[in-house]
Amino acid sequence: MPRRQMNHYYNDFKTVPEDKDNFTFDVLLSDLLLIYCVVNIIIVVALINPC
């Protein structure tokens, strides 16, 4: 996706008024990041110490 188009979408997202929808999106994003970190740790442990 071209950078100009990405900036357009990002600006559209930034213009969304601050409400609980944005809050839930932030919480979902942080949850996904946490899950991603946990999965990475599990993969690393499995690679270091295979069953």
Task: Considering only residues 3 and 42, tell me which one the structure prediction assigns the higher pLDDT.
Answer: 42
CB 16 within 8 A of CB 22: yes
Tens digit of pLDDT for each residue in 9-49? 556 655 555 555 656 777 778 888 889 999 999 999 989 88
Which residue's entry shows tokens 């295979």?
Answer: 50
All residues at 6 or more sequence positions from 16 whose CB lies less than 8 Å from its CB, including other chains: 22
Q: Residue type for 45, please?
A: V
pLDDT at 3 over 70: no
Both tokens assigned to 25? 């999106």
Check residue 32 and give its pLDDT: 86
